[in-house]
Structure 1
């Protein structure tokens, strides 16, 4: 089995079967505005408005279930484990699984990890969220 992923702002399934990605994040790294809360002097990051993950799976030898969970930088689970569906094993064919993460809340900067379970195999997709210049509230 082969596994590839892309993190971007939008994914479109075209009528001809192709997939169009827009706003691809190089090196899976996102720059987010930092907000300094004047009352508590604490740092917060707003939710990510548009964020999508495309997982391309190929060379399957059997029907395969796909699940995902997201881990915060401290390793704790961010949300719940999500079933993403079942792919069928078809010779010389790849499958795309699209995960819409729009509105993804980001309480702190750091490396978030999307853990994908594809049958017995586990893959990790790191998303490095870094801070830009602060904005004062």
Structure 2
């Protein structure tokens, strides 16, 4: 139906944001556990946890290079579109809603111009783990 393309784009942004958030949480968990991050991400990338997001953002996570690719500001806008569209059709997005709030928090903390892989910075802050860059 009319608008399907926009809906699919919104679903894509939902999946990407949730996936980046899960990867960011895994990075902090691994580091705080003393695990070799690069080796662990290689192992995870070869299993069911592997994803395009993990493959393409791995270097961002390991080097804390958050130069803008797809900015937090843009993902914030897109998560607003997802949230509004889901509300309009009566779809409940519990994990997506939390990630939308985490994206909004990063933006409020001045990280809006960074790449969306900077969701890692939010997890680091919440975990009392030093943030990179």
**Same fold judged by TM-score > 0.5?**
no
Question: Which structure has the larger Rg over C-alpha atoms?
Answer: 1
With structure 1 as the length reference, what TM-score do the two structures score? 0.25
**Higher-helix-fraction structure:** 2
Higher relative contact order (CA 8 A, sep 6+): 2
With structure 2 as the length reference, what TM-score do the two structures score? 0.25
